[in-house]
Amino acid sequence: MLYVVAWPLLAGADDTALRRLRAQYHPKEADLIGPHFTLVFGAKTDREADLRTALDGVRRRPFWFMIDRIARHDLYLFAEPSDGAAELTELYETLNAAPAGEPFEPHITLGVFGTAPDAEKVARIVERQHLPIRGRVEELALLRRSGDRLDTLVTVPLSR
């Protein structure tokens, strides 16, 4: 499967906090990939050439974002940006010829929980202790996942 992600550049303490949260509450993925915004999720490998072309055509400068809310969707816990959300959504729309049925909501997945009350409890703690988080997106990457392996196929700087 193929993925396109936007890598957030974060201050040291914020990066450490997000990595620790993911390690604690999303351990299977945290070992594979650090904090990121997913722009293309689980595309078939035959789309690689199209995604490379789309990435090559991205004309966007780096941009700032601010995560100022933690959201719970079912059993998932997400860090959602307000500032920068429009830019991430624009990139998503550029890279997905036929967007999925659900509207895109930019986020960094922090965890998966066994129950909704557990997710809600952690959400309140994270909001009090770690928000707001500010960062910058300066590059995108095309990734290929094969089982427990994740390879970077191409990295595209946002500086054009």
Helix, strand and coil in the chain, % to nearest 5: 35, 40, 25
Q: N- to C-terminal Cα distance for the chain?
A: 28
Q: Which residues are registered as beta bridge partners of 73?
A: 76
Give me 102's structure tokens: 């659900």
Predicted local distance difference test score (pLDDT) of residue 28: 86
pTM of the model: 0.92
Say if residues 89 and 47 touch (Cβ distance below 8 Å). no
- pLDDT digits 0-9 by tens, 62-120: 999 999 999 988 899 999 999 999 999 999 999 987 766 778 999 999 999 999 999 99
Among candidates 60, 67, 61, 37, which has minimal Cα distance to 130? 67
Range of the domain at 67: 2-157
- pLDDT digits 0-9 by tens, 16-69: 999 999 999 999 899 899 999 999 999 999 999 999 999 999 999 999 999 999
Domain harbouring 73, CATH code: 3.90.1140.10
* Cis upstream peptide for 99 (omega within 30°): no
Distance CA(117)–CA(72), nearest Å, equals 10
**Overall number of domains in the chain:** 1
Distance CA(93)–CA(2), nearest Å, equals 16
Distance CA(80)–CA(77), nearest Å, equals 10
